Each structure stands twice: as C-alpha cells, then as structure tokens.
Amino acid sequence: MGKSDPVIETSSLSPSTSSSDPSTSTFRTIIANNSKLYNLSLLPLNSTTPLFHITNSSFTPHKPDITITSGTATGPVLGVIKLNALSSNVVALGDPAKTEQMQWERFQSMKDWTHSRYEFEFVDGETGERRIFTWRRTRQRFWDDQPDMELCENVGVGAEKSGGEAELGEVLAVYKGCQGFFSRTRGKFHLRKGWRVKSVREVSGVGVEIDGGGEGGGEGGGDEKWGDWEVMVLLTGCGAIETARRRSRARRGAGASSGGGGGG
C-alpha cells in the first residue's frame, strides 16, 4: 500500500475529553457543514446562520486554493491559502484582489510523508513577536479523507525555530471530523474561550470583528467576538483538512489506475 497515513491516537487533552467533544464551558464550537464542490459552511453551535464559508479551488491556477469569506461564498474575503507543489504553502489574512498589503506567512507540513503536523506563523500585533503554532493530527485511519487535529503553540527553548518535533503547549483548538458518507456535517471546530492573539491588522484598526452568535450570551459564550486570530485558526485548520482530502483522492486514483492496468 506504500507510505500512507497511519492510525494515530495521541492527545494533549485528558483521555475522557479526547474521546468526545471538548467542554462547551471551555471551548467555542463551529460546525463545518458540507457545501457543494467540497466547500464548507461554518456555523456557530445552535445556529442556522453561517458565520464563515470555505471555498476550495483545486483546478483554478489563478485563484487561491482555499478562501475564507464572511457569511456565505459571496461575502467579503477574509483570508486565503495558496498550496504550492514546488514551493512552500502560504497563508494570509485579507483579500488579494484588493489593494491592501498582504502579509504572507508560511503554512508548512513538518512531516513530509505522514503530514501529521502543519505549522503556521502569526505575528503578535501588541509585541511584534512572531509566534509559531502547530496543527497536530491526533487520529486518522488510512481510508479516512480527513484527520482529527489539535492546535497548540510551539513553546519551550527554541520554540521560535519550529520543527516537526517542537514542544507544544496547551490545546488552543480542536477539530473532530465526521466520517459518515451521508452526513451533512463534515466536522466540528472547537476554539478555546478567552484565548487569542491580537493581530497587527487589529492593532492598526483594520482587523476583522464579527459577532459570535449561536451559543448564547454569558461568560465566554456568544458575546465573544470572532477576529483575525479565529479566522486564521479556522482557515489553517481547513487547509490541513483540504490537503488530507487531496492526498486521499490521489491515493484512490492511483489505486484505481493500478487495479485497471491488467487488460489485454
């Protein structure tokens, strides 16, 4: 079967938490529903109104591979990812079609064969520090086309140097996929309440600020805003999901090709 994604079951959360959804008292939840052509509609828990939309573009060389927009597919562009076969993947907040300056950051797989870790950088607008965060796969079977993941910050000595074995801090976000063939829900994102990094754009007064909605008011509930940090978390998470889907599609295509090569 060649080099394939193994089953991985590791988590920084407690065993009782890692096997189920994180607590709603600690994490905010976004439901990722399937939309047409492998796109995703992102809704707050207990809401029918999309907060964000993810558009995946596989065969459009002059468009970003992954775009996050506000609300629906026709909403304002909030950020994009470019997946490059011959160079590093990059991610940026903002709309590349407009004149605003884009700050491109790397979005890189740190495990060439297993793709079990993806790193991105996010500049702290208040301190100027360039901080590194890692989406770490916690589970994926060979036949699944998406992983379960956790997002942590690289910490400890040499954290700024990054790397596939970097020490990771507390869990800041979680993604759990749904594997049912006929499920409308693709998966769920869970973002830690009260934890965020203020971006350079926000410090400059041009960042995103969207009402949370959905989960109700109260401490850390629907009153909490969604800004550049949350957009970056969701965008890079969906980027890791999309790259896994493309690898799965490539494996299936290679299997079908080799299986059909025995004709006369």
Model confidence over 61-102: pLDDT tens digits? 788 999 999 999 999 999 999 998 777 899 999 999 986 678
What CA dihedral angle connects 160, 166, 170 and 171, to 10 degrees?
Answer: 110
Beta bridge partners of 188: 31, 176
Question: Do the domain assignments include residue 100?
Answer: no
Residue 42's SS3 state is strand
- Say yes or no to pLDDT of 111 above 70: no
pLDDT-wise least confident of 96-105, 137-146, 227-236:
137-146
Question: Do the domain assignments include residue 145?
Answer: yes
How many Cα atoms are found within 13 Å in the side-chain-facing hemisphere of 146? 21
Beta bridge partners of 158: none
Question: Do the domain assignments include residue 55?
Answer: no
- pLDDT 10s digits, 201-227: 999 998 889 987 665 444 434 567 899
- Say yes or no to pLDDT of 250 above 60: no
Question: Do the domain assignments include residue 70?
Answer: no
Residue 159's SS3 state is helix
Contacts of 110 (CB under 8 A, 6+ apart): 117, 118, 119, 134, 162, 163, 164, 166
Q: What's this model's pTM, rounded to 2 decimal places?
A: 0.83
CB count within 10 Å of CB 211 equals: 12
Mean pLDDT of all residues belonging to the chain: 82
Question: Do the domain assignments include residue 147?
Answer: yes
Question: Do the domain assignments include residue 72?
Answer: no
Question: Do the domain assignments include residue 61?
Answer: no
> What is the residue range of 227's domain?
22-49+110-256
Residue 33's SS3 state is strand
Q: Which residue has the higher pLDDT, 217 or 181?
A: 181
Q: How many domains in the chain? A: 1
Question: Do the domain assignments include residue 60?
Answer: no
Residue 253's SS3 state is helix
